[in-house]
Structure 1
Amino acid sequence: MSTLLTLLAILLFVALLWGIGLLSYTLRWKIRIEKIVPPRGQFTRISTGKLHYVDRGTGPAILLIHGLGGQLGNFDCGLIDNLARDHRVIAIDRPGMGYSDRPDNAPTGHAENATLMFEVMEALKIEKPIVVGHSLGGAISLAMALHAPEKLRGLALLAPLTLPSKDAPAAAFNNLKISSNWLRWLVAWTLATPGGFRNAAVVLDQIYGPEAMPASAPTQGGGLLGLRPRHFFNTSRDFMASGRGLKQMSENYDGLTLPVRILYGAQDRTLDHTRQGKELVAMHPRISLTLIEGGHMLPVTQPDACADFIRQASRDMPRD
């Protein structure tokens, strides 16, 4: 009996040392990443707390909303500055992402996120913007258009999530499938950062492929921020909520009164452009789709093509 207790004590001690080692590794990298990629914009406050944003240029307003696990740097590899030549461009870290706050139990559905975006518009005095949503940000943008179309000019969506997926999520996202907050925090502060480095090649191929990730993506594009514990925690929460309510929301697309333009990469490996784009347009002909050669991370890999698409949408959409 004493031998068994001794063995258990040794195993617990080893597990404790292992956990402390992972925690220390994660903390060191968190500090290092925040020095490499510090906040680049300003801060305001909404109901979820502090919100980080950049605001450049003058002219008709464009609000940029990033996708799952992203932050405003996804738009800052040339897209913001291109559009800011003749528009006021506001890009945000969505609540819980980048350097923006979000309480651990805050709602994460598309409708709730849409409400937060309207809070951002009020805080920053953004009037009648074109809303540009990428990936998950596309679903949030559509929720905004359904909830208060009178506050927007229209939508110009980049590789958006629009319909419930018929396929299982890619294996690259399996680590996000965590249903409880306590387990999310445990993984976030132990396994997520070293696992992020170890699995980077697989995840980046899924997200960027077949295009290559630009060398500026980890720093100027803010990609390294996704390796921090809180970012992982909130990305997991968003991932688990991403499918909820989407079917009900999509059943109301016939009621959209705003112009909606969609740009998709024909080789997107993250979202199926046939399902999310072509099938959507077939059901709702008032929505238009443009296909180009490319993958999912078009704002990072093809900022000029995205800017041309958004600028053309701005020309086509009425100003009132």
Structure 2
Amino acid sequence: MLGMVALAGAGLAGWSAFAARKAEELAPADGLFMHLPGGRLHYVDLGPKDAPALVMIHGLMGQLRNFSHSLAERLIADHRVILVDRPGWGYSTIKGSRPGIAGQAASVAALIEQLDLDRPLVVGHSLGGAVALALGLGRPELIRGLSLIAPLSQPVDRAPGAFVGLLAPAPLRFAAAWLGAAPMGTLTRPSMARAVFAPDPVPGDFVTRGGGALAIRPKSYMAGSFELLHVRSEMIKLRARYAEMRVPVAILFGAQDRLLDPTLNGEQTAREIPGATLTLVDGGHMLPVTHPDVTAAWLRGIMA
């Protein structure tokens, strides 16, 4: 019996490794790498180097192709657009302990400094919005403002239904990542994508051009599980400092977002951050992919 269990485990781990390689073939690294004390960041640098800069930070189970799918191309004619894989996501790696929201914000700050960017506008989508908020509070001198797209900006009591499968306790996280993430992810990816995008349709090329294939890797499961289990306590600390925000903050939300509540994460946050504004548009959670024209026009208005 033990031999059969070991054989089954080895088979599942082998399948996970195979699926991860195939996912990386579908959505390979397409940027540059910057070595930092906490690991290595994968980023893409687009547009004129002397143009006003934007730095874009993706959300949970995402990577930088969430922005390059549709949004970045609408801005690069006259803006420098930096897309970054958050630490532990996409093709960014970590060294030592896994960083939380504040640690990830510090890595983005280091990227801004090493690229010698002149006070870029920081764009954060979903959980990337939380990282952007931490950056605005921790290093306001580096940036001109925050543009938050469907951000996680408030503590929430329970994970969105699409992500409950990530809630493995820390002692079981590694085993769940290598024995279950790829097989289950392969089976549930279509329904999970529909839940994240709803009510908007999922683009047919999101798996490749949008980087969706990378979500089934064990690495992604490990990162997602860690963030879901720690994010509430971090958001409580972050929210307590909103009155200290000294950079302009603008929030864009899809009125039909089914992943994060626009009233809680949009309206309430806009009230709590001095001078923050909220814009509601028709659409769901993945506005940079499904409504890139609206999102780009909103960003251009803020930059202007």
* Alpha-carbon distance in structure 2 between the residues aligned to 1:142 and 1:31: 34
Deviations 1:56-81 (A, max 9, x none): 11210100000111110000112112
2:168 to 171, 178, 181: 178
Structure 2 length-normalised TM: 0.95
In structure 1, what residue type is equivalent to 2:112?
A: M
SS at match of 1:40: coil
Deviations 1:119-141 (A, max 9, x none): 11122222200000001111111
**Bigger Cα Rg:** 1
Deviations 1:14-71 (A, max 9, x none): 2122112211211211111111211111111112222111001121010000011111
Deviations 1:201-244 (A, max 9, x none): 33222211011111121101001011111121112112222212
Query: Residue 4 of structure 2 corresponds to which residue in structure 1?
Result: 14
* Alpha-carbon distance in structure 1 between the residues aligned to 2:274 and 2:225: 34
Query: Residue 309 of structure 1 corresponds to which residue in structure 2?
Result: 298
- Is the contact between residue 66 and residue 134 of structure 1 (CA under 8 Å) also seen in structure 2? yes
* Alpha-carbon distance in structure 2 between the residues aligned to 1:284 and 1:88: 27
- Is the contact between residue 19 and residue 217 of structure 2 (CA under 8 Å) also seen in structure 1? yes
What's the offset of the Cα at 1:307? Answer: 0.9
Q: 1:34-113 counterparts in 2 under 5 A? A: 34-58=24-48, 59-103=51-95, 105-108=97-100, 110-113=101-104
SS at match of 1:189: helix
In structure 1, what residue type is equivalent to 2:16?
A: T
* Alpha-carbon distance in structure 2 between the residues aligned to 1:281 and 1:132: 16
Query: Residue 159 of structure 1 corresponds to which residue in structure 2?
Result: 150
List structure 1 runs of 4+ shifted beyond 4 angstroms: none
In structure 1, what residue type is equivalent to 2:115?
A: L
Q: Where does the alignment leave 5 or more consecutive residues of structure 1 unmatched? A: 1-10, 316-320
Query: Residue 148 of structure 1 corresponds to which residue in structure 2?
Result: 139
Say yes or no: does 1:130 pair with 2:121: yes
Q: Where does the alignment leave 5 or more consecutive residues of structure 2 unmatched? A: none
In structure 1, what residue type is equivalent to 2:214?
A: L
What's the offset of the Cα at 1:83? Answer: 1.1
Query: Residue 318 of structure 1 corresponds to which residue in structure 2?
Result: none
* Alpha-carbon distance in structure 2 between the residues aligned to 1:186 and 1:123: 37
SS at match of 2:295: helix
CA RMSD between the two structures: 1.5
- Is the contact between residue 45 and residue 123 of structure 1 (CA under 8 Å) also seen in structure 2? no
In structure 2, what residue type is equivalent to 1:87?
A: H
Say yes or no: does 1:240 pair with 2:240: no
Q: 1:87–1:207: structure 2 CA closer, same or farther, 3 Å change rule?
A: same
SS at match of 1:218: coil
* Alpha-carbon distance in structure 1 between the residues aligned to 2:162 and 2:13: 23
* Alpha-carbon distance in structure 1 between the residues aligned to 2:153 and 2:295: 18
What percentage of residue pairs aligned between the two structures are identical?
A: 40
- Is the contact between residue 105 and residue 135 of structure 2 (CA under 8 Å) also seen in structure 1? yes
In structure 2, what residue type is equivalent to 1:164?
A: P
- Is the contact between residue 112 and residue 142 of structure 2 (CA under 8 Å) also seen in structure 1? no
* Alpha-carbon distance in structure 1 between the residues aligned to 2:146 and 2:271: 18
* Alpha-carbon distance in structure 2 between the residues aligned to 1:245 and 1:13: 42
- Is the contact between residue 136 and residue 242 of structure 1 (CA under 8 Å) also seen in structure 2? no
Structure 1 length-normalised TM: 0.90
In structure 2, what residue type is equivalent to 1:37?
A: A
In structure 2, what residue type is equivalent to 1:170?
A: P
- Is the contact between residue 248 and residue 276 of structure 2 (CA under 8 Å) also seen in structure 1? yes
